[in-house]
Amino acid sequence: MHELGLIRGVLTTVLDAVRRAPGQRRRRVTRVAIEVRGGGHLTESMARQHFAAAARGTPAEGAELRIRWLPLHFRCVYCLARFESAELPDEVLCPRCAGAALADERAETVRVRSIQVEET
């Protein structure tokens, strides 16, 4: 459940930012934008499901999750070409020879780009 841990980390970052914001008014998170550099098994539907589940009962419950997928660096195992792709690693083929390719990066990273909040 590495993917759940990544999304919980996003939620922790979001909620910490909301708590640190100046003022005493209650705030509700309406949108969270993240960047994901894949390398494992995190899919868009999985990220959305994990986010919705983790946000339940918090100021981020019901927030829109915007996801921007960043490309990974790959190397073809046949012709050794290097290239980028935002596809899941298991689905990537070399654009030069259509051979199998391996991701140079294995770990997934998720970064919070922006948080939209409204006062309640």
Cβ-contact 21, 27 below 8 angstroms: yes
Cα dihedral: 69, 71, 74, 79 (round 10): 120
Tokens of 108: 């997934």
Hey, where are the domains in the chain? 2-71+106-119
Q: How many CA atoms lie within 13 A of 75 on its CB side?
A: 5
Tens-digit pLDDT profile for residues 25-79: 788 999 999 999 876 678 889 999 999 999 999 999 999 999 998 888 999 999 9
Cα 99 off chain centre by: 27
CATH class of this structure's domain 2-71+106-119: alpha beta
Mean pLDDT of 4-9: 90
